[in-house]
Structure 1
Amino acid sequence: MSTASSNRPLLQSAVALLSALLLGAGGLLLGFGLMIPAVIALTLVGLELTPSLNIVLSLLFIQGVGCAGVAFSYVKARPAVAPWVRSKLGIVAESSVFDIPAEVPDLRDAITVGVGYCVALGGAILGSVLITLAQRLTGTELETGTNQAAQIGMENPELLLLLIPASVLVIGPSEELLFRGVVQGRVREVFSPVPGILIPSAIFAGLHWFALTGGSASGNFVALGILLVPALVFGISYEYTDNIVVPSLIHGVYNATLFTLLYVTVAYSDQFEAAQQALLAASL
């Protein structure tokens, strides 16, 4: 992963921030934009768009093409595009090799995965529970939105059994390639570790606004604040290990755990109604 240089002109910093935001949002928008004509085409040929098919298409286009595709494309295109952009903007900077380090986790990486998973899951669930308790104690009601995939899973519990392995095999790796590998890697080229982690984490959590369904503006803002906890864990683990496999595993297992717990709460909805709301708020 690239690291910040000692000289950080304002223009260079602004370009890094803008490119990071465009890459993160652009990956998601590209996947969604490609998914729409695919849905239309399937509908025209008479294929029913079931919840299961909708989830599969989302995993294929948004996570697969949008996140992973944009990440790999950026790494491939950067050697040709970056010098051209710098020359047009008059930015004088040393050429640097941009890559996304990935290797089989060693013992330190494995420990980081375990600790990161516990902190991410515990922090998100604790935040959700504290907000729920605060509302009950103050008599206020804050309507938070729910993750669309989790909401579909609640209505079709069998889909949660698909989302559990997909979290580890597709969702975690693809989103981490884009948001930690590319977005955080790009920001870290000109910023030191603390803002280099905070900024990408805020972008990652903020873009989940569009994945929320329902809820008030203030409620969704609080929900994004909860999601910032695991986002920071993903970013810190990548900075610490310089191995994209580590945050990918933390993210994937984190999501898989939430989907597993959500499946249990749906199956026993009468006993776990309060826990269900906390899990929905923590879903990424």
Structure 2
Amino acid sequence: MTVLLIAIGGFLLGAVLTSVGTGILSIFGVNVLEQPSLRIVISALALQGLGFGSVAVFYLLTHNKGVDFLMLSMPDFRDLLAIVGGVVSLFVVLVGVYLVQTTFGIQSADHGLVKRGMQSPEILLILVPLSILLVGPGEELLFRGVIQQLLRFRFGAIIGITIASVIFSVAHVGSLSGEGLIPSLVTYFLLSVILGVSYEYSENLIVPSLIHGLFNAAQFLIVYVRATGNLPISVI
């Protein structure tokens, strides 16, 4: 029950902060709804940055848990190998799921960011650094650093990773639309399991954070190329 409240709390706080930020900007004459790029930045800052981060830090402080609980340390060579292996593993799973879905005619739901990115490709370039600096670290701090750790200490690593991955996948329901919701959630679950295993293996929260961020950033770049046919010079 505690882990569910933590997850819900992160999303609620993020939603409130997003509304507050949007309201403050509107006072100064900035219409966020008419500026998709700005809306994406505010959402990432408010949700993954401040929302998830604040709830995670609040729990850690109020329960006298610190860096040791999070398993947070400077990455070494072994961690770097884990990061590379984790990113490759995520793409292998993603391609595998795509092949299975294509073979059996299974449809996936549409992701809101990808749909907006195809219409306004500049959004995708903004999401590349945000994925690495905010989205990956923010989501991993909450779902792996706090939720998975709590479950792990109570039920063991396998059950901890499994339940945390279920919560992680369900948490993405709001960003999906159209048919194929269940197949998409299964995909998120499988990807989350890899992130959870990488955290358990490395015993370092920075590892899944970078895997997550780099994986998302690479996907946004791929979608950008699909939308424009060009590779941005800044990332060559």
- Please, what TM-score do these two structures have when normalized by structure 2? 0.90
- State how far apart, in whole Å, the 1-side matches of 2:84 and 2:152 are: 25
Partners of 1:125 and 1:23 lie apart in 2 by: 32
- Aligned counterparts of 2:132 and 2:196: Cα–Cα separation in 1: 17
Corresponding residue of 1:7: none
CA shift, 1:98, in A, is: 6.7
Q: Which has the larger radius of gyration?
A: 1
- Partner of residue 48, structure 2: 63
1:44: how far off? 4.3
Q: Which residue of 2 aligns with 1:233?
A: 194
Q: What's the secondary structure of 1:210's corresponding residue?
A: helix
| 3-state SS in 1 of match to 2:172 | helix
Q: CA deviation at 1:153?
A: 1.5
Give the aligned partner of residue 221 of structure 1. Answer: 182
Matched with 1:128 is 98
Deviations 1:197-224 (A, max 9, x none): 1000110011101111x213xx111111
Q: Provide the residue aligned with 1:151 in structure 2.
A: 115
Indicate how the Cα distance of structure 1 residues 186 and 123 shifts in structure 2: closer, same or farther if over 3 A, else same. Answer: same
- 1:108 is paired with a residue whose SS is helix
Give the paired residue count: 228
Q: Percent identity?
A: 36
Distance (whole Å) between structure 2 residues aligned to residue 47 and residue 65 of structure 1: 21
Instruction: Give yes or no for the alignment of 1:110 onto 2:50.
Output: no
My pick for the range that moved more, 229-238 or 97-106, is 97-106
> Retained in 2: the 8 A contact 1:113–1:250?
yes
Q: Is the 8 A contact 1:124 1:227 kept in 2?
A: no
Equivalence for 1:77: 62
> Greater CA deviation, 50-59 or 70-79?
70-79
Matched, 1:168 2:132: yes
One-letter amino acid of the counterpart of residue 180, structure 1: R
Q: Aligned match of 2:175 in 200, 205, 211? A: 211
1:14-67 deviation per Cα after TM superposition (whole angstroms, max 9, x unaligned):
xxxx11111122202210122123223433442121001101111110011111
In structure 2, distance between residues paired with 1:102 and 1:225: 29
Which deviations, in whole Å up to 9, do the C-alpha atoms of 1:211-263 show, x marking residues without a partner? 11x213xx111111111121011100111111000000110111011001111
SS of the aligned residue for 1:79 comes to coil
State the 1:176 CA deviation.
Answer: 0.4
Residue number among 192, 196, 206 corresponding to 2:156 in the alignment: 192
8 Å contact from structure 1 (residues 128, 226) kept in 2: no
Corresponding residue of 1:249:
210
Cross-structure match for 1:35: 18
2:165 counterpart residue number: 201
Who is 2:234 aligned against? none
* Counterpart-to-counterpart distance in 1, 2:78 and 2:24: 48
* Structure 1 residues 133 and 267, CA gap change in structure 2 (3 angstroms): farther
Give a deviation string over 1:49-86, Cα, whole Å, max 9, x none: 10011011111100111111211111111139xxxxxx
Q: Distance in 1 between matches of 2:95 and 2:9?
A: 29
Unaligned runs of 5+ in 2: 231-236
Question: Does structure 2 retain, via aligned residues, the 8 Å contact 1:75–1:98?
Answer: no
Whole-angstrom CA distance in 1 between matches of 2:81 and 2:55? 30
The code of the aligned residue for 2:173 comes to: W
Which sits farther off after the overlay, 180-189 or 117-126? Answer: 117-126
Report the Cα distance in structure 2 between the residues aligned to 1:256 and 1:129, rounded to whole angstroms: 22
Equivalent in the alignment of 1:10: none
| Cα deviation, residue 110, structure 1 | 1.3
Does 2:36 correspond to 1:51?
A: yes
